[in-house]
Structure 1
Amino acid sequence: MTNSDTTLEVQRWIETTAGPVHLRELGTPTGSPLLFVHGALVDSHLWDGVADRAATLGYRCLLPTLPLGSHTRPMNPDADLDPPALADLAAEIVGQLGLRRVAVVGNDTGGGLSQILAARHPDLVRTLILTACDAYEQFPPRSLRAFFALGKAPGVLAFGGQLMRLRAARRFAIPRPLSHRGVGDEVIAGWTRSLRDPMLRRDTIKFFAGIDASHTLAAARQLRHYTGGALLVWGTDDRVFGLDLGRRLAADIPGARLEILDDCGAFVPLDAPDRVAGLIDECLTQ
């Protein structure tokens, strides 16, 4: 993809069957579309560094904030927010934009959702790009299972939201196993603000309750027959998902390419945004 001087950013709300979803678009409106899928308790700003670079390369970057705990408007009370429903929600967003095929880029929980999306909507996914994420039996990952289980208990997320009012507490929100580089305090404050809203917590608890390895195991079986392109990017210091998980996925997805980056934790988009964007461009233009 050639460089472009046009890098427009547009923000809008998309009314879906599940409720309102905030979408940011960055880059060239006519460029090849990239759908970025974030993980739990963060929003689309996780991808800012990668999307900024991809936009300069001429891509159309689609950055929805899904109802995974850092969204800012509640979903419909009867909305299904389990992982297959969220994958369908992402597909609905793509359809509302009038797009037929996109490259899907996922990280963390969003990588698990991206696998489910590719399994359920294979004709929609041109290329599947996964950066250190849930897969197989690790949905949620072993190291975070207690956290997700605790998050479903009454009052826990509300307490966490109040605790995150403190700047000192926010300093520990993204520990080194997640990211070596981290993000600014303002971003973390934004990610945790939704925990203080009871309606948004309702959505988050519903999402937490739906996480189950049966979904990623089913997706993995389907992905053995996947015919699109596939790129996996893992960090050498990922102590949440681990390199073995990336290698296993690369072996099971036909034609998948695995890239291993030094000095990266689980949040590869934060630790190596330029390198991730470059690898995406290489994958889509080779």
Structure 2
Amino acid sequence: MTRSARRPAPGGERDLVVARVGADQTVEYRMTGDGPGTVVVFHGGHLRARLALGEDVFIDAGFRVLVPSRPGYGRTPSSSVTGFTDVIAGLCRDLGIDQVAAVVGVSAGGRTALTMAARHPDLVRRVILQSAVGFLPWPDRRTRLGGRVVFHPRVEGATWALLRQALRFAPERALRLPRAGRGTARPDGRVVRVRRGAHGRPGRPAHALAAHRGDP
């Protein structure tokens, strides 16, 4: 049974729960919303569960959102990808969640989402990848080296600062930059890339989720 302790959050951030899963596993997480279905969001970057980014779209569509802190951040201890997904699956069971409407992998959280879907297919109904890192190799050597340079720990801060300025002063050009590298992975039959709404028009991820479950 999950034993949890709520941690108060500073202003502007969300309260977190620290839960014990099984005999010796601990995870920090946040649950938001009160819908009947649950979406699990695996964020990337240097994020813990306190900060909510782009999750309201799922809450507005009637879903609960479960967001764990990444391994090594907050009060979630370091772990392998497979170990972490097993802990989250155990957390879902302890919370009475028999099936997850979707796991969402954002950026570096992509591998976690894919691993959880592969290891727990009875729990996960679908996968949503948002600018996600996959398991296939880089498309070419130049892209791989470029990625290592611009996201090196000593350079990454400047990279994001430049991108913020570009979005501020030239948003249309800045939004084309991430598309230049293209994706590195093609989804197989178990992975759903949600880029369009229920009728094939561009839409938000929650639109496709609602359509899939039969909502108007």
**TM-score, normalization: structure 2?**
0.65
Q: Report the equivalent of 2:136.
A: 137
| Structure 1 residue 238 corresponds to structure 2 residue 174 | no
Bigger relative contact order (CA 8 A; separation at least 6): 1
Q: Secondary structure at the match of 1:136?
A: coil
| Aligned positions of 1:16-27 closer than 5 A | 16=21, 19-27=25-33
Correspondent of 2:89 among 88, 91, 110: 91
Q: Report the equivalent of 1:104.
A: 103
Q: Cα deviation per residue 1:171-193 (whole Å; 9 max; x = unaligned)? A: 636356699769xxxxxxxxxxx
Structure 1 gaps of 5+ residues are 1-8, 152-159, 161-168, 183-234, 261-273
Q: Report the equivalent of 2:123.
A: 124
Matches of 1:258 and 1:36, distance apart in 2? 14
Q: How many residues align?
A: 185
Structure 2 gaps of 5+ residues are 1-13, 169-174, 197-202
Q: Report the equivalent of 1:281.
A: 210
Q: Report the equivalent of 1:232.
A: none
Q: Secondary structure at the match of 2:89?
A: helix
Q: Cα deviation per residue 1:230-276 (whole Å; 9 max; x = unaligned)? A: xxxxx854259x43435x22xx235845527xxxxxxxxxxxxx934
| Aligned positions of 1:204-283 closer than 5 A | 237-238=177-178, 242-245=181-184, 248-249=186-187, 252-253=188-189, 256-257=192-193, 259=195, 275-283=204-212
Give me the CA root mean square deviation: 4.0
Instruction: Specify whether residues 89 and 145 from structure 1 end up closer, same or farther in structure 2 by C-alpha distance, changes over 3 A only.
Output: farther
Q: What is the letter of the counterpart of residue 160 of structure 2?
A: I
**TM-score, normalization: structure 1?**
0.51
Instruction: Specify whether residues 110 and 10 from structure 1 end up closer, same or farther in structure 2 by C-alpha distance, changes over 3 A only.
Output: same
Matched residues, percent identical?
Answer: 25
Correspondent of 1:41 among 43, 46, 50: 46
CA contact 2:36–2:62 (8 Å) conserved in 1: yes
Q: 1:45 Cα shift?
A: 5.4
Q: 1:60 Cα shift?
A: 0.8
Instruction: Specify whether residues 83 and 171 from structure 1 end up closer, same or farther in structure 2 by C-alpha distance, changes over 3 A only.
Output: closer
Q: Report the equivalent of 1:63.
A: 67
